[in-house]
Structure formats: structure tokens, C-alpha cells
Chain A
Amino acid sequence: QSVLTQPPSVSGAPGQRVTISCTGFSSNIGAGYAVHWYQQPPGTAPKLLIYDNSNRPSGVPDRFSGSKSGTSASLAITGLQADDEADYYCQCYDSSLSRYLFGSGTTVTVL
């Protein structure tokens, strides 16, 4: 059981906007630690998508955006495309557990 909870799946039609939530606790997101997001297409390694809550690495389209508030964070994907189909994971440090945590993961399906 993950300490960072994400919905198991979200779906949307091409061109639509979807959001993925990441709910934590006062020992991780709520403590002010930054949240990062990764995209993992089937059969491949994860790729950094968002770092420090809302920053995009070079090469990541601005269709992807991140935000954080209180003990939760969110990833938004606008203009959904077929190659956005993947698993998405949030990640944060937890001071109570003294380790880096990943969320439970969300599968995005493009209808």
C-alpha cells in the first residue's frame, strides 16, 4: 500500500484534458517536499515529466503541467494524444519513513 495515493486509471478522448491526483500526508507533500512526476509507456523505463511541483524538463511539451496544494499534487494533460497512453507516477520524499516514495501509479487511456 502506497503512502502517495493516485487513482488507478483515468481516460479521455483525443484532445481532451485529464488530471491525475496524488494525495499524501503531512510527512511528505504536506511537509513542503517537492513533488515530481514520471511517465512510463508500456515496456519502457520511466521518464521525468515534471520536477519541483511544476517545472518541465527540456523537451517535455507544455501540454503537461503540475501543481501542488496542501497535502496533494496534480498532473494535468491537455490536448490528449494517443502516445500519452502510459502509466504516470508521482514521487516525493517522506520524512517519517526517511525514504523517497512513489505514488501508486495511474494508467492513462486515450479512448
Chain B
Amino acid sequence: QVQLQESGPGLVKPSETLSLTCTVSGGPISAYYWTWIRQPPGRGLEWIGYTSASGATDYNPSLNGRVTISIDTSKNQFSLKLTSVTTADTAVYYCATGSGTGYFTGWGQGNLVTVSS
């Protein structure tokens, strides 16, 4: 069973870049697709984007080009960068995995990121 763990700062200032890392254990990072999903407090889920093991990516167009997802197979990690954050980006950020067929089979426990000055 693949396990995922998010890490990164819990507080980011407006206009700065949010950076999170997800560490994968219990399975090969080369075998799946790796996704970021977020959930604002008290609200629903929003898909941010994914990377494949080979580095192919796809992002949510509503984030207007502010997202970069990258993968480091040597460290069994993948990362999220979200630039020019505002308070609307305050959310619990989850990393997740799937086979690429459109659903997410494993999730991290989530990392609350607050955007505030």
C-alpha cells in the first residue's frame, strides 16, 4: 500500500510562492500518477494538477498558470509550487495518487496552508 506524506510551511505571505513536497513510501513512484488536490476550510475539493513519473503534467486551467508540479524519482518525492498566492489559496493541500484512469486511490493526510501577512 502506497503511503503519502505532505510537508511544507503552514503559513505563506500574500504574493509569495507556496511550496509543498509529498514523500512517497511503500511503492514505486515510477508506477503511478501523482496529484495535488486542495480543500479550503469548510468547503469542497479542488483538483490542482498532476505529474506522471516521466514528468508529463496537466494543470487546472482555473489557476491561471500559477502552478508547477515536478517529480524527483531519486528521492521518491513530488512537489507543488503555486505562485502569487492570495488569501483565496488558503486550504488543506493533499497529495494523492492514481493509476491515471481518473480516480485517486491513495491520499496523504493533508497540510493546512494559510495565506496571511
Contacts and interface: CB of A to CB of B under 8 A. Distances in A.
Given A45-B109, A105-B44, A99 B102 contact: no
Contacts of B110: 45
Interface residues of A, number: 26
B45 A47 contact: no
Nearest to A50: B103
Is the interface on chain B under 10, 10 to 19, 20 to 34, or 35 or more residues?
A: 10 to 19
Contacts of A104: 44
A47 B108 CA distance: 10
Interface string A22-66: 000000000001101010000011111001100001000000000
Contacts of B61: 97-99
Interface of A: 2, 33-34, 36, 38, 44-48, 51-52, 57, 89, 91-93, 97-105
Interface of B: 44-47, 60-62, 94, 101-105, 107-110
